[in-house]
Amino acid sequence: MRDEEAMLLALEEARAAAEAGEVPVGAVLVRGDEVIARARNRREADQDPTAHAEMLALRAGARVLHSRRLSGCTLYVTLEPCPMCAGALAMAQLERCVWGAADARCGCCGSVYDLPADPALGGSCVWRGGVLRGDCEAVLRDFFRQRRGGA
Does residue 34 carry a catalytic annotation? no
- Catalytic option among 5, 12, 22, 54: 54
Residue 3 has φ and ψ, to the nearest 5°, of -55, -40
Q: How many whole angstroms separate alpha carbon 12 and alpha carbon 77?
A: 11
Residue 98 has φ and ψ, to the nearest 5°, of -120, 120
Q: How many whole angstroms separate alpha carbon 149 and alpha carbon 151?
A: 6
Q: Outline where 34-151 has alpha helix (H).
A: 43-46, 53-65, 83-91, 133-147
Catalytic residues: 54
